[in-house]
Amino acid sequence: MTGFRHGLVIGKFYPPHAGHHFLIRSAADACERVTVVVMAADVESIPLAARVGWIREAWAAEPRVRVVGTVDNLEVDYDSEEIWAGHVALMRDAVGERPVDAVFSSEPYGVELARRFDAAPVVLDRARDTYPVSGTKVRADPVAHWADLEPPVLAWLTRRVVVLGAESTGTTTLSRDLAEALRARGGPHGRTGWVPEYGRELTVTKLAVARALAPADGPAPTVFDLEWGDPDFALVARRQTEAEDRAARSGGPVLVCDTDALATTVWQERYVGAVTPEVRELAAAMPPRALYLLTSETGVAFEDDGLRDGEHLRAWMNGRFREVLAAQPVPWIELTGSREQRLDTALAAVDALLAEGQGLADPLG
């Protein structure tokens, strides 16, 4: 079904949601070509480039849909001819020279905008009956509208909670318990993801390779025979963040991670004596963390599962974790007590985090 040559969809897409994609889809089905113009102000919390990238990803399979962005720091005043003219000028610069013959909108200003482009106004779902969602509602309560958001938007909004600590201090147990407790709440939290520790996976792989290469008549290598170099830690940091990003795109409002690339810097220091610039850069490039949970070694018996290298290192390692966490801006708490007490403390901290909201700035207007 095509009725127009060139359709236009304008919006802040702050953030993009199902209602926005309904507009774009409707325009794509009714036009030979569609231009989506994302207009963002500098005071807004989500960068223009992110919004443009998210919509381009969603419509990558539709060659007729072109997505462009422009910075619009003008106030919104529908009674001001000067401000109207300024907004439209920015839109025209973004659209280019090809004439627009249809403007698709669900906002009251859509009719006037179409008139200024000498185009037909296609007004859809003004009452939000088809898609009862808006940018205002999403910003106010993203969790309530989690199902209305695309994977890259989910990944950006997901609060990443990282559990770290020395060997055999209960990091994996606590992170699993926390993820399971959140899933049990149902709704969007039923999708809570858990990201395992890639370093442990690599240790298993290195040990299996060492044993496969060992002489048949010799002793089987143990974890103490493994060699760790700087490339190993760069691989761990990269793989850990990759796994996080995959999980965040399909999970719930909180993503529970059993360690991260910042923790990898401490492990690299432990095994090779210093942190390389590559690993430090990988840690600095991680998506924002929302909370760190440090598992105390106090009151936790050391269990040697064949992949750990010593109880005597736990106090030193956690000491370094405390120093590293104190030097970075993300909030963190140390968990002590029984397994149940640690989980209760962790859940209370996550609930406080969720209660704060996303803190997204109001749009300019």
Nearest to 37 by CA among 112, 113, 142: 113
Do the first three CATH levels of 4-139 and 158-356 match, i.e. the same topology? yes
Domain 4-139 has CATH 3.30.1330.10: no
- Residue-wise pLDDT for 143-172, tens only, equals 999 999 999 999 999 999 999 999 889 999
| CATH class given for the domain over 158-356 | alpha beta
Angle in degrees, 0-180, between the axes of helices 314-326 and 261-272, rounded to the nearest 10? 130
pLDDT (tens, 9 = 90+) of the chain, 365 residues, equals 568 999 999 999 999 999 999 999 999 999 999 999 999 999 999 999 999 999 999 999 999 999 999 999 999 888 899 999 999 999 999 999 999 999 999 998 999 999 999 999 999 988 899 999 999 999 999 999 999 999 999 999 999 999 999 988 999 999 999 999 999 999 999 999 999 999 999 999 999 999 999 998 989 998 888 999 999 999 999 999 999 999 999 999 999 999 999 999 999 998 899 999 999 999 999 999 999 999 998 877 666 555 455 666 788 889 999 999 999 999 999 999 999 999 999 999 999 999 999 999 999 86
Rounded Cα–Cα distance for residues 60 and 62 (Å): 6
Q: Provide the Cα torsion 232, 234, 235, 237; round to 10°.
A: 120
Q: Give the dihedral sign, CA 260/264/270/271.
A: positive
List CB contacts of 281: < 8 A, sequence separation 6 or more: none
Domain residue limits, the chain: 4-139, 158-356
